[in-house]
Amino acid sequence: MASSSPLFFKRICLRSQATRKAINKLKITVVCGVLTILVLRGSIGAGEFGTPQKDFHEIQRRVLRGLDHSSRAIRGDQSIIPSLPGVDHSIIASQSIEAKIEQHPYRLGPKISDWDEQRSKSIQSRPTKLLMVTGSQPNPCDNPTGDNFLLRSLKNKMDYARLHEIEVFYNTATMDDQLTGFWAKLPVLRRLMLARPEIEWLWWLDSDAVVTDMAFEIPLAKYAGHNLVLHGWASEVYVTGSWLGLNTGSFFIRNCQWSLDLLNAWAPMGPKGTVRIKAGEILSQNLRNRPVFEADDQSALVFLLRNNQQMWGERVFLENSYYLHGYWVALVDRYEEIMEKNQPGPGDERWPFVTHFVGCKPCGKDPAYPEEKCRVGMERALNFGDNQVLARYGLRHKHLGTTETVNLDSS
């Protein structure tokens, strides 16, 4: 018995070691599995933020050409439409998307009905007039020069904000995993309204928009009695129903109960997947010259205002006396002429307030315009705006196509 004891304990030790090895392997497997899930979730959930796909009359041909194939594929094979959790797809098949949205509207959050009363104390104790809100996707840009543009675009916005004592909020977070891409601004604005009740106005400004009149003073007093200010034309929105009748790349929205209600009414066409795809078809059927592609925030707002003008229209100001949004193609080649003939300050065609590089997708792929044309235009706009800042320090760019600087009095 004594001679067998060492062998017995040896076997026990060997079994114990084998058990520990098995447990360690299992731990490693579990950890690897969790990491894989996290990586996949992060990859699937990533999306563009704050760079809407807006197109105007000059680029409709490009958009139509690029979207025709994908829209035919969607109509031809419904199996490629992603499923939406919690949605009975038999309902989608048996009734219109309008009825579905009306019966099960997507909400940005819990309903709030007394926000004006809740805000009153914060307004009295620490009022702030305006907050600039912008942002970009959290991941590196697909375009190799995109991150540099985003950095310089942010610097441009911060320059204007500093000169006019405006606070800036720059967002890279996904605040609602259903409202991605050009819809991401809605949950950002709502959360900021609730988190910052002392803020009176929020100015949404796309990452591909450049401030090009650093002296322009935003006439907020002009908008007393209004809660939403966008660049646009009433006849194009309410009469002809053009999807280009207004622009959502640069707008002011008041922090109030009306705005919270509007955001909730605006959001139901935005959830990614089936709802957004089907809603895009409805928008294309009802808005003039809109190509068939998934629902975008700009078209959805035109649709909402046109079909509910009595409810919303009275508080919406469609601004066209200055360039709250300026279409870049019509502006970037005129900067030298503008500098020769005018002085900064008016914000209109004499010296545009905002130059918006719609269709360029500086952080993404497949722009609606030649990449080089966009790059040159963006360089010129950034340097045009920067010259107005550098002039305070006796400097200017050698010319609008370069970052090189010279003394202001240099020939």
Residue 124's pLDDT is 67
Tell me which of 127 and 190 has the higher pLDDT. 190
Matching residue, tokens 């545009």? 352
- The pLDDT of residue 347: 97
- 299 falls in which pLDDT band (50, 70, 90)? very high
Report how far residue 203's alpha carbon sits from residue 354's, in angstroms, rounded to the nearest whole number.
Answer: 13
**CA angle, 328 then 220 then 348, to 5°:** 30
Which residue in 371, 366, 405 sits closest to 386, CA to CA?
A: 405
Number of separate helices (H) and strands (E) present in the chain: 14, 10
CA 183 – CA 172 distance, rounded (Å): 14
209 or 70: which leads in pLDDT? 209
Mean pLDDT over 166-177 rounds to 96
Close Cβ partners of 62 (under 8 Å, ≥ 6 residues apart): 55, 359, 368, 369
The alpha carbons of the chain give a radius of gyration, in whole angstroms, of 27
CB burial of residue 62 (10 Å; 0-12, 13-18, 19+): middle
pLDDT the model gives residue 15? 54
Contact 359, 366 (CB under 8 A): no
Least confident piece of the model among 61-65, 185-189, 292-296, 396-400:
61-65
Going by pLDDT thresholds of 50, 70 and 90, the confidence category of residue 45 is very low
Structure confidence by residue, pLDDT tens digits, 212-271 = 999 999 999 999 999 999 999 999 999 999 999 999 999 999 999 999 999 999 999 999
Beta bridge partners of 406: 396
pTM: 0.75
pLDDT higher than 80, residue 28:
no
**Per-residue pLDDT band at 395 (split at 50, 70, 90):** very high
- In sequence order, what are the beta bridge partners of 181? 49
User: β-strand 199-205 against 246-254: which pairing, if any?
Assistant: antiparallel
Q: Within a 10 A sphere around the Cβ of 367, how many other Cβ atoms? A: 18
Q: Does residue 18 surpass a pLDDT of 90?
A: no
Position 132 pLDDT exceeds 70: yes
Residue 36 identity: T
Q: What is the pLDDT of residues 335-385, one digit of tens each?
A: 999 999 999 999 999 999 999 999 999 998 889 999 999 999 999 999 999
Q: What is the mean pLDDT of residues 317-329?
A: 98
Average pLDDT of span 182-191: 97
pLDDT of 122 above 80: no
Report the pLDDT value the prediction gives residue 21, as an integer from 0 to 100: 58
Q: What would the pLDDT profile of 64-110 be if each residue is shown by its tens digit?
A: 444 544 444 444 444 333 343 333 444 344 346 666 666 667 888 88
272-285 residue pLDDT tens: 999 999 999 999 99
Between these two residues, 380 and 411, which has the higher pLDDT value? 380
| Residue-range domains of the chain with CATH | 57-82+95-369 (3.90.550.10)
User: Beta-carbon neighbour count of residue 131 at 10 Å?
Assistant: 22
Residue 296 has pLDDT above 90, yes or no: yes
Lowest mean pLDDT among 86-95, 149-158, 256-265, 388-397: 86-95
Residue 208 has a pLDDT of 97
Pairing of the two strands 128-135 and 199-205: parallel
